[in-house]
Structure 1
Amino acid sequence: MLKHKKYFAALLVASMALSSCSDDFLEIKPRGTDLESNYYQNQQEALNGLVAVYDVVGMQSSGFVTKLTALNSASDDHFAGGGGPNDVTSIQVWSNYTLDPATGPQGDLWSKGFSGVFRANVLLQKLPQVPMDEALKARYRAEATFLRAYFYFDLVRLFENIPLFTEPVSTADMYDVLQANPADVYAQIEADILAALPDLPAQVNLETEAGRATEGMARAVLGKVYLQQEKFAEAAEQFEMVNGTPGGTSQYGYKLLDNYADLFAVDNKYNSESIFEIAHTNTSNGDWGCVGCTEGNVLNIMVGPRGYNPIAENAPDYVSGWSFLTITPELNNAMENDPRKSATIADLDSLEKAGAVTYEKGYNNTGYFLEKFAGRQKDRSTGGGVMELNFRQNIYEIRLADSYLLEAEALVRGGGNTSRAQALLDAVRARVGLPSIPVTIDTVLEERRLELAGEGHRWFDLIRNGRAAEALASKGFVAGKHEILPIPLLELDNTLMEQNQEYGGTK
């Protein structure tokens, strides 16, 4: 426990062991562990600090827990899968709702969020004294402020009762920190994004700055923040600015791709549908000595079929993976006649019955795997490091079809412009050749399920709309408890924080 606390404190005062994200502007690899008190002496060091904040967005734990894998495993569309019931226990226990304060993904998700908050706060504290161009400084400040809001949004949605830090906290004071009222956290998130908006660019040069925060990205996150609080009119307003005319090109250049499957082509990064994208690379030389250090996409190896053996000449070129996040029969049935199915679900059961492949039946095997992220032989790393940890497929945090359907949800639930909501739903369906259907909250949520399957949105959709208890009952979900995660047990040691009452605490 003491070791864990020392780690938590170290993030507050010495987060300058800077690692890097991948691609373009994020391709910066600072060396050394400069003490924070001696850092931020010039523009380059300020940029390095900003890269350190961005780096947390794509953080993957050494235990193979990521935000996306954890959220998918908890939804009704996936089982945890893997090699057995104790394979990556953290996601197994969320998938079957046996998690408790000591066991689950909460430690990794908490550490990720507060790592980002702490790094952002250090940069925001130091920036005023850095000698550099003032306009550029304002942009760095806006990016760090927006990212702090983004990290806090995940934290408050997942844990509800969390500390609220808007500046670095000393090691001595850390143990006296109290949890904030969730309403105050949401107010700070809103204030941060609104403060950041004037100094964020409308667009960035994708050759040099791909992945950096933009005005559209910030408005999309703000729309989600408002929607989570059922501020429907405010949410719809933000999404409309992001989305523009349904089916057209928005003021920020966003446009639905013509071909749905192209969204998941590994080389199609930062395309017109991408609003907020998490970068991965196959050049970080990730190896087993530090799984959490890799910048490759571990999801690609995790979701591939275990023991995969192609027999037919035209069999898919999957890399043999670890069979996590198997698709439930219910999702497969829901997508049976949907044009998006072939880009979403890999039907290994049918391939094996046809004599095209064989594969090992892992835990929770259904025969259905997540096609969107299953690693392919053609995408194997040709550089250093181990193959399993160095896939380069990026992940969408927010894309335009997601934003369309969130606006439609806000309009329907808030009694807004039904015609616009209908047009937004129609545009998503028309892209894949599906006819118009009447817009209701049921049709919007079902469209989100099919359009965004496997992309980490389903669990939040169910929780936000009060449908989790019914949809997840067969997995062990208990209403009034499992809508949030427990505060990680180690974070309560020798502090004034209290456990959520849903998990035996008083908060």
Structure 2
Amino acid sequence: MKRKITYAIVILAGLQLFGGCKKYLEISPQERILLDNYYKTPAEAKAALVAIYDRFGFQTGGLYDKVAIMCAASDDQIAGGGGPSDINDLQVVNNFTLNATTGPQGYLWNKGYAGIFRANVFLSKIGDINMDATTKASYIAEAKTLRAIFYFDLVRFFKNIPLLTSAVDPKEIYNVVQAPPAEVYALIEKDLTEAIPGLPNTVVARTDGGRITKGAAQAMLGKVYLWQGKNAQAAEQLAIVNGATPGQPNAVYGYRLLPNFGDLFKVANKFNSESILEIVHANSSNGGWGDAGASEGNLLNIIVGPRGYKPGPGAPDYYSGYSFLLFTKEFFDFIHFDPRNKATVANLDSLEKNGIATYEKGYQNTGYFLEKTIGRVADKAPTGQTELNFPQNSYEIRLADTYLLEAEALLNNNAAVGAGSRAYQLLNAVRARVGLNPVAVTLDNIIRERRLELAGEGHRFLDLVRWGKAATVLAYKGFKSGKNEIFPIPQAELANTKLEQNKEYGGTK
């Protein structure tokens, strides 16, 4: 699905809540369509819906996204790059020295609230448009699901956040206050519950790949329940997504695990049967360095590639990149003898030692790169700035993830977990896909499986926080218990407003 639209209007301008974001509002009056004159036709409704999706896939001009932040914060990866201040926002997450003025929290906050703003305006206006009722219901459901996703990220990252369900009058933007997290979660659950009936079971990948489906909303609701410890509700929702028989295709949605784990990360396999929700990227936007974040290319593809890569005969066709998000030696040793190793880790040290390729050693080099996401010469853009326009999609949710989440929810809810039980089938279907024998359903085994299966996909840090293990596992990086589970609210959002900084960062909230 194309995420960028070709004209500017007030509601799509990335309007942020507070003064620290006003620099993003530089729009020529000749290019805008006033809000009162918009939302008149079905085509305008669709363009505005696309604009909400635009924020879902938004990447910063600083060459990173949510996945990169979560990977840098995890124990499996380190920031890397060209030096200790290269993409500094990732460096300070990596060593947990971020504060209210330094770090990626401004990107996370702005991405979320710009998306919420667009969703709120959309939901307030679409009712007046004369259009097909089924299409309108689907659009409304998509907007509510996206709003729920934005809020789910924000409340997990910042805990104490404003809860906005309608556009804020400009006169009131400095009077907005934070809501209790429980109220935010209540809205998330309400949005998703209301959205699910209006969503399609499937979409045509060629024309609508990347759009929200019923299964995507149910998977998200299951994750929301699990995060709150509502295990029975989580298992119920995730079971609908995972299907009646784990390891077999879902008879309603068609989801099934791909037979070959490595195929998940091939550009040609977008919107495959394991995909539940993807962030869409393309190599045709001609994005350039003037605004790298506006490119539709996947910026992870370039930042994780090895610097100065020079392949010899028979070497992988990696595109030379910037050496970020390297795997640690500890993680390499952990995954080394697992069947997923080769599709997960690009072992540049081994290539070099065997005379197959050479590369420049970047900051904190370990020699172990993120194979899943490295840009390939075969996938480079035909035109435009090559390094900014790689077309690999990113998974927001895929089936192996939801299998393991349901198994965890069942275990937490004291359901049967012995051989032959549903939890046992879920966990071991993921293992069977890569040729591994069954194991017992224990939290340790689920933790191990999620780490092996989902490495480098942005899950590990939030998993550690959910399990209460972050303080122990991430202590070597400087993580402080009772503080680094969340991010500081950006200082720009506190100036001249009624927002309060989280107490974990010296505030009162």
Q: 1:15 to 1:243 in 2, by over 3 A?
A: farther
1:15–1:276 CA distance, 2 compared to 1 (3 A): farther
Partner in structure 2 of residue 165 of structure 1? 164
Post-superposition shift, 1:9?
A: 6.6
Partners of 1:261 and 1:249 in 2: how far apart? 19
Which amino acid is 1:196 matched to? A
Query: 1: distance between equivalents of 2:422 and 2:473?
Result: 28
Q: What does residue 288 of structure 1 align with?
A: 289
Match of 2:3 in 1: none
SS at match of 2:83: coil
Q: Matched residues in 1 for 2:487 and 2:110: separation?
A: 13
**Match among 430, 434, 453 for residue 432 of structure 1:** 434
1:353 & 1:135 partners in 2: Cα distance? 60
1:177 and 1:10, CA in 2 relative to 1: closer, same or farther beyond 3 A? farther
Amino acid at match of 1:465: W
Q: What is the rounded CA distance, in whole Å, between the counterparts of 1:217 and 1:447 in structure 2?
A: 22
Give the whole-Å Cα distance in 1 for the aligned partners of 2:27 and 2:40. Answer: 13
CA-CA distance at 1:393 after TM superposition: 0.3
Unaligned runs of 5+ in 2: 1-15
Question: 1:225, CA displacement in angstroms?
Answer: 0.2
Query: Alpha carbons of 1:98 and 1:7: their partners in 2 closer, same or farther (altered >3 Å)?
Result: closer
Mapped contact 2:84–2:363 kept (Cα < 8 A): yes
Partner in structure 2 of residue 457 of structure 1? 459
- 8 Å Cα contact 1:65-1:105 kept in structure 2: no
- 2:335 maps to which residue? 335
Q: Equivalents in 2 of 1:110, 1:268: separation in Å?
A: 31
Map 1:66-145; keep pairs closer than 5 Å. Answer: 66-145=65-144
Distance in 1 (CA, whole Å) between partners of 2:64 and 2:377 is 24
Cα gap change, 1:377/1:10 in structure 2, threshold over 3 Å: closer, same or farther?
A: closer
Give, in whole Å, the separation in 2 of the partners of 1:376 and 1:43. Answer: 39
SS of residue in 2 equivalent to 1:398: strand
Tell whether 2:404 aligns with 1:405. Answer: yes
Q: Could you give the per-residue CA deviations for residues 66-107 of structure 1, whole angstroms, max 9, x where no partner exists?
A: 000000000001000100010011110000011111101100
Residue 349 of structure 2 corresponds to: 349
Deviation at 1:16, TM superposition (A): 10
Deviation digits for residues 216-244 of structure 1 (CA, Å, limit 9, x no counterpart): 00000000000000000000000000001
Paired position in structure 2 for 1:48: 47
Cα distance, 1:135 vs. partner?
2.0
Is 1:16–1:36's contact at 8 Å kept on the other side of the alignment? no
- Give the C-alpha shift of residue 129 in structure 1: 1.0
Give the superposition deviation at 1:35.
2.1
* Maintained 8 Å contact 1:426/1:437: yes
| Equivalent position of 2:324 in the other structure | 324
- Whether 2:508 is the aligned partner of 1:506: answer yes
**Residue 32 (structure 1) shift:** 4.3
- Do 1:16 and 1:49's aligned partners in 2 also have CA atoms closer than 8 Å? no
Any residues of structure 2 matched to 1:171-190 within 5 Å, and which?
A: 171-190=170-189
Paired with 1:243 and 1:9, the residues of 2 have a C-alpha distance of 44
Identity, in percent, stands at: 57
Deviations, residues 295-351 of structure 1 (Å, cap 9, x unaligned)? 00010000000111113x101111110000000111101111100000000000111
Query: What is residue 230 of structure 2 aligned with on the other side?
Result: 231
Map 1:483-494 onto structure 2 (within 5 A). 483-494=485-496
Contact 2:20–2:493, Cα closer than 8 Å, also in 1? no
CA distance in 2, matches of 1:195, 1:8: 32
Q: Report runs of 4+ in structure 1 exceeding 4 Å deviation.
A: 6-11, 14-17
User: Counterpart of 1:256?
Assistant: 257
Amino acid across the alignment from 2:488: P
Confirm or deny: 8 A CA contact 2:17 2:113 kept in the other structure.
no
> Is the 2:42–2:131 Cα contact (8 Å) retained in structure 1?
yes
Q: What SS is found at the alignment partner of 1:373?
A: coil
Is residue 467 from structure 1 mapped to residue 469 from structure 2 by the alignment? yes
Cα distance in structure 1, aligned partners of 2:314 and 2:454: 28
Matching residue of 1:301: 302
Cα distance in 2 for residues equivalent to 1:207 and 1:86: 41
How far apart are the structure 2 equivalents of 1:457 and 1:15? 35
Q: Which residue of 2 aligns with 1:22?
A: none
Q: CA separation in 2, counterparts of 1:8 and 1:100?
A: 18
SS in 1 for 2:204: coil
AA aligned to 1:192 is: D
Residue 364 of structure 2: aligned partner? 364
Amino acid of the residue matched to residue 470 of structure 1? Answer: T
State the superposition RMSD in angstroms: 1.6
Unaligned runs of 5+ in 1: 18-30
CA–CA separation in structure 1 for the residues paired with 2:18 and 2:329: 42
Counterparts of 1:368-383 in structure 2, within 5 Å, are 368-383=368-383
SS of 1:326's partner is strand
**2-structure distance, mates of 1:49, 1:427:** 40
Whole-angstrom CA distance in 2 between matches of 1:426 and 1:32 = 55
1:276 counterpart SS class: strand
Give, in whole Å, the separation in 1 of the partners of 2:397 and 2:40.
Answer: 35
**Cα pair distance change 1:38/1:7, threshold 3 Å:** farther
Amino acid corresponding to residue 275 of structure 1 in structure 2: I
Cα distance in 2 for partners of 1:10, 1:119 equals 18
- Higher mean alpha-carbon deviation, 33-42 vs 235-244, is at 33-42
Q: Cα gap change, 1:180/1:494 in structure 2, threshold over 3 Å: closer, same or farther?
A: same
Structure-2 residue corresponding to 1:240: 239
Q: Distance in 2 between matches of 1:243 and 1:10?
A: 44
Aligned partners of 2:447 and 2:224: how far apart in 1? 18
